[in-house]
Chain A
């Protein structure tokens, strides 16, 4: 039986017992209670996308998602998609043209790109922009983000 401030999260396929206040955003539970670094703090207001994780496969901003509302939904971070074939295509494309500069936003970019290609394996340029609009890259790597998503989606087609 869980206490009022205990939460059984399913993170990257594993159950994790977190003892924390219910209003703690999922971001801080993942970074500082679970110890994951593939989810980043950027704005704390759902405006930059650096903290993007998947909740039952859909991208969410973990900086504005209270721990108490996660329930039994499966939480997936960048660490949790490492062996996923779609993620591997994205990683390959990301490295082929070396998308990143400082790299800080890239975990969030990958999580959003992954969610896009899962639902829409061959997105148009406009669909790419729409899906990635919530992820800020302060270094301005957008041209290569677009290109890498195209490369990963073309491999899907081929």
Chain B
């Protein structure tokens, strides 16, 4: 186990197990600060699954979800601490291991943490508080109704008596667990932690260089593995000569592994296992492998583009939504605007490459995994490798970026397979950057042919979109689909959406605001053209479309990610960003201009304005204004603003230069020279305004990203540049 690895856990049984595993010499690194205070670990009292208190009053709160930089290791414990009614500086936060029996959903994805946990985390804190109050009542003989709490004390105001949570901990732990649905919650006006800018709980540790991330996991005798996989997606291993690699310096084993369960688990590969990652990488180059790459023959980006063009010329997609008779209304419209838009495949490129550390011993598997979905890894390993879920332990490490890539658990399955082949030896699997980019699950590309009809007054009366996307057997992949209810559906009387699906072998997956990050560009870009043709600007057109208070769509669905779009909330952020940016007084000409974009995703309403200069091919973004409505409360304003500004930087980089291309299934980008990420010099000043409305708080990891893409492209056009219909803006090869 690690030097300083954050595998400390509230589960004392697990703690003892891990301590025993690594031996007494390493136990200190696993000890929670709370435990370090008292020599006797019995002084640490586990009150609930989430709250542990030591007799000195230090409160340890479990953070249940994976931390990928979205701030949940801070924001979710803040919700607990708020209702527990302690001081934040009394709190020590530890990452919970994967344990659905205690923590239920433990995922990072869909901007769902705040939306799903706003109430349950508060209830968890309130339950622990109620147990402390009951303990004080029991100890003092006073009725609980006369007791109150504040800053880690239970108080009896009539007598002036008070008891610290630390001294009540043991008695509190003996109280029956309260019914969560009935615990008393604070009036939000009394919040003292929620809403206060709060520094991330790991920030100081990161600055000390502590071993927090998956890649930092260290154990005595740990081996380092790399995997050589097929150069093209869908490839099968025909033959392997591993003799030279086996003889190379530092190499411990070379293993040929058959693919199991597809690209989201493990494809055919050869693993090189060595004493140092570098030796494994060097020996990998000595492998002589023969691959059957037939499955990906013809799967090239150019071929897909030609197919999409053919499909759009034929104009016969399957119907996704039909309201009225849009083709007939187009034929009689005073003015018709038509345009084709496209966007490319892109990669996640988390800065910490995919990795996982695993130890298989006596039929049990222990993993240190930077994963957004530990449950998925455990389930796949059970199914594909036959290790029962109850024989698997997953320590969720801090994660060097997720963006949806780590919703896939392929690296967990692979590390487990390696560990199973090397029983008793801890094995760390680490992908290099080229593999990380070439073995991704990409944001799918797509093409849209739009038409819009305007009447004599410039009113939008008809709208059509023919969408070409990717999937298999006529069904779009879940990250390549479009909701029939996509804006402006329901707000234009005559509307037709059609879709066709191109079969692909290229793996696809959700990438930060999946679907939305691509559709925002196409729809808001085209609507900017429609507004221009109508003699107005895009925000004016949007406000007209949203003029009436309407709710479009259902509030819930199976995923809990319902798509109820409320026009009033859209108007709120649009009006705010226009005011903030001085839109009405914006200048034009001289190569400078402002562009607008709006998008609704993950229950967040975002309106954004970009101020840019264009000189030849060069684009300079000066400033970005964001107005956001994510409900009634911002849990941690410091983290929340960071999510928004980060999404802006991400979206600008995507739009400017990111593109994954491929020929016969071979991905053509390998590193940050050809797949460029945002850099500091391209980063504008960013201003963020919150429009608080009486709606349940929702998440911020994703919804700020989509509208920045059209805000940028529309600004480039306003500045006298090209109308950008095809992304990326600058072509990289």
Contact = CB atoms under 8 A, between A and B. Distances in A.
Interface of A: 20-21, 23-25, 28, 31-33, 35-45, 47-48, 50, 77-79, 82, 91, 94-95, 97-107, 110, 128-130, 132-133, 135-146
Contact of B649 (A40, A94, A133, A142): A142
Nearest to A47: B672
A31 B2 CA distance: 13
Nearest to B200: A98
A103 B202 contact: yes
- Which of B282, B399, B647, B677: most chain A CB closer than 10 A? B677
B204 interface: yes
Interface in B287-325: none
B204 A40 contact: no
A130 B673 CA distance: 18
B351 A50 contact: yes
Interface in B191-222: 197, 199-200, 202-204, 206-213, 215-216, 218
A25 B282 CA distance: 12
B432 A95 contact: no
Contacts of A31: 277
Contact of A138 (B204, B211, B351): B351
A77 B224 CA distance: 22
B353 interface: yes
Given A42-B353, A78-B208, A130-B681, 20 more contacts: A32-B276, A37-B212, A37-B216, A38-B209, A40-B213, A40-B215, A41-B215, A77-B209, A82-B208, A95-B199, A99-B203, A101-B71, A103-B69, A103-B200, A129-B681, A139-B650, A140-B683, A141-B642, A143-B685, A144-B642
B639 interface: yes
- Which of A28, A77, A139, A144: most chain B CB closer than 10 A? A139
B620 to A, nearest CB: 12
A84 B535 CA distance: 61
A42 B276 contact: no
Contacts of A40: 213, 215, 351-352, 400
Interface string B581-601: 000000000000000000000
Interface in B209-245: 209-213, 215-216, 218, 224
Closest 10 CB pairs between A and B?
A38-B209, A140-B649, A102-B69, A104-B400, A101-B69, A140-B646, A103-B206, A142-B683, A37-B211, A78-B209
Given A48-B672, A82-B208, A139 B679 contact: no
Contacts of B679: 133, 136, 142
Contacts of A79: 208-209
Given A100-B206, A103-B212, A110-B207, A44 B399 contact: no
B199 A103 contact: no
A44 B434 CA distance: 9
Given A42-B351, A142-B680, A102 B642 contact: no
Interface of B: 3-4, 67-71, 197, 199-200, 202-204, 206-213, 215-216, 218, 224, 249, 276-279, 282, 349-353, 398-403, 430, 432-433, 638-639, 642-643, 645-650, 653, 671-673, 677-681, 683, 685-686
Nearest to B207: A91
B249 A103 contact: no
Contacts of B353: 41-42
A129 B678 CA distance: 12
B3 A140 contact: no
A136 B350 CA distance: 11
Nearest to B209: A38
A21 B280 CA distance: 12
B433 A43 contact: yes
Contacts of B683: 140, 142-143, 146
7 contacts: A24-B278, A28-B277, A32-B278, A50-B351, A78-B208, A102-B67, A103-B69
Contacts of A77: 209
Contacts of B212: 37, 103
B678 A98 contact: no
A94 B203 contact: yes
